[in-house]
Amino acid sequence: MMKKLKKAELKRYEKMLIEEREKILKELQYEGDQIAKTQLETSGDLSAYSNHMADQGTETERREITSQILSSRRQALFEIDLALGKVSKGTYGICERCGKPIAKRRLKFLPQARVCMKCS
Ligand SMILES: [Zn+2]
């Protein structure tokens, strides 16, 4: 039997999604600023050129990690937007694969979950 989420519950998840969305947007903004800063420093500071050369290995590594973080953040943002769309369409909390309701335990942990525990 399909057990739909109550309106109050839905509101709560919606709030979680919106808060999470804002948090991610702030993080993306911050990381973007950091990248811009690093690029400015690297191009503007010629006296430290040799130091930069020595650090380039770690710098490249750091950038790689940052870009991985950024892409996972963007992915999360995309899923949050999808989930918010479902909230307004009234299909939130339903597994995309089997059509059964997603366990509340799972939604509390991952409000943007698109599939249930079994299907994930
Ligand atoms: Zn499922």
Query: DSSP for 44-72?
Result: H--TTHHHHHHHHHHHHHHHHHHHHHHHH
Lowest mean pLDDT among 19-23, 34-38, 112-116: 34-38
Residue 115 alpha carbon to ligand 1 centre in Å: 5
Residue 71 alpha carbon to ligand 1 centre in Å: 26
Query: For the residues 7-23, what does the mean pLDDT come to?
Result: 96
91/116 Cα distance (integer angstroms):
14
Cα distances (Å, whole numbers) of residue 74 to 31, 50, 68? 12, 35, 10
Residue 10: closest CA among 94, 120, 81: 94
Asked whether the predicted pLDDT for residue 83 surpasses 90, the reply is yes
pLDDT at 88: 94
7/38 Cα distance (integer angstroms):
47
pLDDT digits (tens, 9 = 90+) for 85-110: 999 999 999 999 999 999 999 999 99
Residue 7 alpha carbon to ligand 1 centre in Å: 22
Query: For the residues 45-59, what does the mean pLDDT come to?
Result: 63
pLDDT digits (tens, 9 = 90+) for 109-119: 999 999 999 99
Domain layout of the chain by residue ranges: 7-90
Residue 21 alpha carbon to ligand 1 centre in Å: 24
Q: What value does the mean pLDDT of the chain take?
A: 87
pLDDT at 1: 44
Residue 25: closest CA among 60, 71, 74: 74
Asked whether the predicted pLDDT for residue 55 surpasses 90, the reply is no
